[in-house]
């Protein structure tokens, strides 16, 4: 199975995120989260992140608004407003430049979309 997105006619891009993420969990470095840039359209960047139990991203900020989709596993997502318990299926939205961090409570796959800031 290919671990890349496949281009098709008519500018359609196809890929199985769960298969790609599982491959990343099984085969990539185990000491830090794995990150794969899936697309950069100029108006949005999509990244697939995978985490082993206990791995985290320390507090940081994104240049634009973000959407975080927990595809598999369970994470805790922390902002200035508190910590959200986020199992698979959770969708989070955060404003540009809002500090946030996360920690994985189980092996997890997270799709992050960073939108271009309007400023």
Distance CA 115, CA 78 (A): 20
Give 83-113 pLDDT, tens digit per residue.
999 999 999 999 999 999 999 999 999 999 9
Element (H, E) at 17: helix 17-27
- Average pLDDT of the chain is 89
Distance CA 116, CA 90 (A): 22
Q: What percent of the chain has pLDDT over 90?
A: 67
Instruction: Look up the CATH superfamily of 6-115.
Output: Jelly Rolls (2.60.120.10)
Q: What is the pLDDT of residue 3?
A: 58
- Per-residue pLDDT band at 1 (split at 50, 70, 90): very low
| pTM (predicted TM-score) | 0.86
More confident position, 2 or 29:
29
Average pLDDT estimate for 53-68: 96
Give 21-44 pLDDT, tens digit per residue.
888 888 876 789 999 999 888 899
Q: What does the domain layout of the chain look like in residue ranges?
A: 6-115
Where do we find the tokens 């809002």?
98
């Amino acid at each position: 199975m290919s671990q890349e997105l496949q281009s098709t006619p008519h500018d359609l891009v196809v890929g199985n995120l769960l298969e790609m993420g599982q491959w990343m969990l099984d085969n990539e470095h185990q000491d830090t989260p794995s990150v794969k840039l899936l697309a950069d359209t100029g108006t949005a960047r999509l990244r697939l992140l995978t985490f082993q139990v206990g791995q985290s991203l320390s507090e940081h900020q994104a240049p634009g608004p973000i959407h975080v989709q927990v595809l598999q596993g369970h994470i805790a997502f922390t902002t200035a407003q508190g910590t959200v318990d986020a199992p698979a299926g959770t969708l989070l939205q955060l404003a540009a430049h809002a500090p946030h961090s996360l920690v994985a409570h189980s092996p997890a796959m997270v799709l992050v979309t960073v939108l271009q800031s309007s400023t």
